[in-house]
Amino acid sequence: MIYASKKQQKLQTHIHTVEIQLLLKWCIFRLFFWLSSYIILSEVIMIIMLMFIFQALEHLKPSDNCLAGKAPENRDKNRYRDILPYDKTRVVVGENQDYINASYIRMQVGDEEFFYISCQGPLPSTVQTFWQMIWENKSDVVSMMTQEVERGRIKCHKYWPEKLGVPLDIGRYHLHLENQQYLEYFHIKIIRMVETETGETHFVRHLKFTHWPDHGVPHSSEQLVRFIRYLRAMHHKGPVTVHCSAGIGRTGVLICTDIILSLIENDFDIVKEMRLQRHGMIQTKEQYLFCYKVWLEVLQGILQLHSSQWQPEDPRDHKVV
């Protein structure tokens, strides 16, 4: 009788365990369904809330001085006089710690560090320093978020080789265009850098995003998401180098979105952390809202995937045989 009682207790425990597991699955599914509906209904409220948050970020005081950028010998190396790198996070180039308008951006998210160089679009006088920065940091991906000319204004100097078999000589380096491909949303160039003194080589994948309008933000986040996923797949070593014209607006959007995609449910204050390392990252409310629009669309996609692939039964209707 004692043996039978233990067997019955074991079976009863198993039944309760199965019921609890099914109840949890059903509750999680209902939570996903509720979240999906809530996100759609509360989007307007969230936009208003984000505008207030961005307004608060606008009052975030600079975390450091910009003495190097203000030095008389470096003033002409800045595309915009009011957009300068912090001294403590600026990228220094060469043994003499030469100046370039660029900042290291390190974002610690959990155990993983996202490492970038955020910089302005090169000027004719800073192209050599730009490529030296790429070489010294062993950056293998350069993400360009602007056109050379937009609305009749020069945004970035053309700093890459244009023709196969015709190298571009940049001081200490020869730049060889190895291959190129034009996709719907972005252009890909594979550039081989050769140091003239040693013959040492370094390969760089130059990615130029072409679907950012002259004014505002993209109408859809899909193209940018695909661009970033390709960027991540191609990146293997060194910091990811990102630039637009000033190196804070679209550049900030790409970095912020990259981190959001990598850790979609994290509660990390990404923009604040970026602004403590380079002043003004994410320039406008429109850009700030676009980052969260990407987050919303990706999250909604995840919710739709769960709802289509996973339809658990109501545990109250389930019978254990």
Residue identified by tokens 């974002």 is 107
Both structure tokens of 221: 């986040």
Separation CA 69–CA 82 (nearest Å): 10
Q: Give the relative orientation of helices 285-309 and 249-262 as an angle to the nearest 10 degrees.
A: 20
Q: Establish whether 66 is a catalytic residue.
A: no
- As a three-state string, the secondary structure of the chain is CHHHHHHHHHHHHHHHHHHHHHHHHHHHHHHHHHHHHHHHHCHHHHHHHHHHHHHHHHCCCCCCCCHHHHCHHHHHHCCCCCCCCCCCCEEEECCCCEEEEEEEEEEEECCEEEEEEEECCCCCCCHHHHHHHHHHHCCCEEEECCCCEECCEECCCCCCCCCCCCCEEECCEEEEEEEEEECCCEEEEEEEEEECCCCCEEEEEEEEECCCCCCCCCCCCHHHHHHHHHHHHHCCCCCEEEECCCCCHHHHHHHHHHHHHHCCCCCCCHHHHHHCCCCCCCCCHHHHHHHHHHHHHHHHHHHHHHHHHCCCCCHHHCCCC
Torsion of CA 228, 230, 233, 238, to 10 degrees: -60
Residue tagged active-site, from 119, 244, 256, 291: 244
Query: Residues with catalytic annotation?
Result: 244
